[in-house]
Amino acid sequence: MKISLKNKKALIGGSSSGIGKAIAEQLAASGASVTLMARNEDKLKAILSKLPSADGQRHQYLVVDFSDFEGYKKKISAYFENNTVDILINNTQGPSGGGALEKNVNDYQNAFDLLFKTVVFTSALALKHMQASGWGRIINVASISVKEPLSYLALSNSIRAAVTTWAKTLASDVGPYGITVNSVLTGYFDTDRIAQLNEKKAEKMGIEPHEVLTEMEARVPVGRIGDPKEYGYLVTFLASDKAAYITGTNIPIDGGLLKSV
């Protein structure tokens, strides 16, 4: 099966590293013109210079800070004044780790702004063109924690669950326009985010980070954590015409880690 995204435009959040970067690379390799979006301009420039590019593709980047919602609103609104997108990948950095007793109401509000309000606001802007053209893909990078909460990620557990239920509702509303909305439930992947969380967990437990990683890998039925490229393959399929009948879903990519059905 060959997937072509030629003449499609994609906007990918959190694409300066890890999963977002892998998604951008695979979408570009499949023919899409991509807009990278993250905080670190130097990283964005470096990635942009290496993206696969063929005739007709036009890649660009947008420097934003998802944690500053008011500032983000201004930048993303200005972007959509001159651009349209067919494929929107809603992905941001994660909120700080910690259990429920460690967080206060302001922490939850900040996480809500970061993980939920940015997604809803950006999707509303992108949907105008998608509805007018009768085609669109909205894909949310979520987490397996919406099905089986992780004790050390209280903020992410709570707000990402809201994103996935919102996405299910939106999928029903925009399905008649040829637009699909899906959420990918992320397991353990080889990213800077996982490394940072493992360092904090190791410090609390008084062990080395590699021991946390080894224990993590042992819990995954396939015996390893994921390569971000594998994530990019799934998202590229969901972004294509091949996945036109898949919408309103939560799709785990976790090596079999989830125990629930």
**Average pLDDT of the chain, as a whole number:** 95
d(Cα 253, Cα 143) in Å, to the nearest integer? 9
Compute how many other C-beta atoms are within 10 angstroms of the C-beta atom of residue 192: 11
What's residue 254's pLDDT? 97
What's residue 171's pLDDT? 98
Averaged pLDDT for residues 197-209: 83
As a residue count, the chain comes to 261
Predicted confidence (pLDDT) per residue in 11-41, tens digit: 999 999 999 999 999 999 999 999 999 999 9
d(Cα 162, Cα 171) in Å, to the nearest integer? 14
Averaged pLDDT for residues 164-173: 98
What's residue 44's pLDDT? 98
Predicted confidence (pLDDT) per residue in 152-161, tens digit: 889 999 999 9
Share of the chain above pLDDT 70, in %: 100
Averaged pLDDT for residues 83-101: 93
β 60-63/87-90 pair status: unpaired
Q: What domains, with CATH codes, occur in the chain?
A: 9-188+227-253 (3.40.50.720), 191-225 (no CATH)
Averaged pLDDT for residues 143-154: 91
What's residue 229's pLDDT? 97
CA Rg, the chain, in Å?
Answer: 18
Compute how many other C-beta atoms are within 10 angstroms of the C-beta atom of residue 73: 16
What's residue 7's pLDDT? 96
With contact defined as beta carbons under 8 Å apart, do 212 and 205 qualify? Answer: yes
d(Cα 179, Cα 86) in Å, to the nearest integer? 9
Residue 192 has pLDDT above 90, yes or no: no
With contact defined as beta carbons under 8 Å apart, do 8 and 86 qualify? Answer: yes
Distances (CA, A) of 250 to 13, 75, 88, 212, 246: 19, 29, 16, 27, 10
pTM given for the model: 0.94
What's the token pair of residue 137? 């893909």
Residue 239 has pLDDT above 90, yes or no: yes
Averaged pLDDT for residues 145-171: 94
d(Cα 66, Cα 70) in Å, to the nearest integer? 9
Averaged pLDDT for residues 222-242: 97
Residue found under tokens 């959040």: 13
What's residue 200's pLDDT? 80
User: Quick check: helix, strand or coil at residue 126?
Assistant: helix
Residue 202 has pLDDT above 90, yes or no: no
Predicted confidence (pLDDT) per residue in 242-251, tens digit: 999 999 999 9
Averaged pLDDT for residues 81-108: 93
